[in-house]
Amino acid sequence: MAIESKKPNPVDVHVGARVRFRRTMMGTSQEKLGEALGVTFQQVQKYEKGTNRVGASRLQKIAEVLQVPVSFFFEGYKGGDAPPVGMREPDAEFVTDYPVSAESIQLNRAFGKIQDPKVRRRILELVRSLAEAEAEIGEAK
């Protein structure tokens, strides 16, 4: 009889990835999140990998610590039905299609520190023009 390795449930993996995404965006370490939850950083790692399922009360606490609604952790999940109407929070607007990389996180943090709306707008225009130029080069190849 072969021993099967138990794979994490896709929902748990998605929720864990969203926890990691938000934690990283806030610049919070696994240790700090663990302290706030009363668990070890190893437990936070297991939540983020989806190997340990996050219970409802713990997910609520994580949402409070990371300053997002619980529904944030289910946004973008494609493997099943959308969250029930009661779980959706229409006023919450979070980016779900954002490419997560070290550079994108650094860019987001630095951009958030810029107070002048005119400077922010100019930076956005610059980034858009660079992206468009790169897309045009890609199409020409």
Residue 1 within any structural domain of the chain: no
Best CA proximity match to 62, nearest among 86, 28, 93, 85: 28
pLDDT at 99: 58
Percent composition of the chain: helix, strand, coil (DSSP 3-state, to 5): 60, 0, 40
pLDDT at 88: 44
CA-to-CA distance for 96 and 118, rounded, in angstroms?
26
pLDDT at 35: 96
Domain that holds residue 114: 101-141
Low-confidence ranges of the chain (pLDDT < 70): 1-5, 80-100
pLDDT at 102: 73
Residue 2 within any structural domain of the chain: no
CA-to-CA distance for 13 and 16, rounded, in angstroms?
5
* CATH code: domain of residue 15: 1.10.260.40
- 65 and 131 co-located in one domain: no
Name the token pair of 20: 């990691």
- 81 and 18 co-located in one domain: yes
Residue 117 within any structural domain of the chain: yes
Q: What are the distances in angstroms from CA 34 to CA 31, 41, 43, 117?
A: 5, 5, 7, 36
- 53 and 107 co-located in one domain: no
- 66 and 131 co-located in one domain: no
How confident is the model over 75-98, as pLDDT tens digits? Answer: 888 875 444 444 444 434 444 445
pTM exceeds 0.85: no
- 37 and 72 co-located in one domain: yes
Residue 135, classified by CB atoms within 10 Å of its CB into exposed (0-12), middle (13-18) or buried (19+), is: exposed
- 111 and 71 co-located in one domain: no
- 33 and 53 co-located in one domain: yes
- 90 and 111 co-located in one domain: no
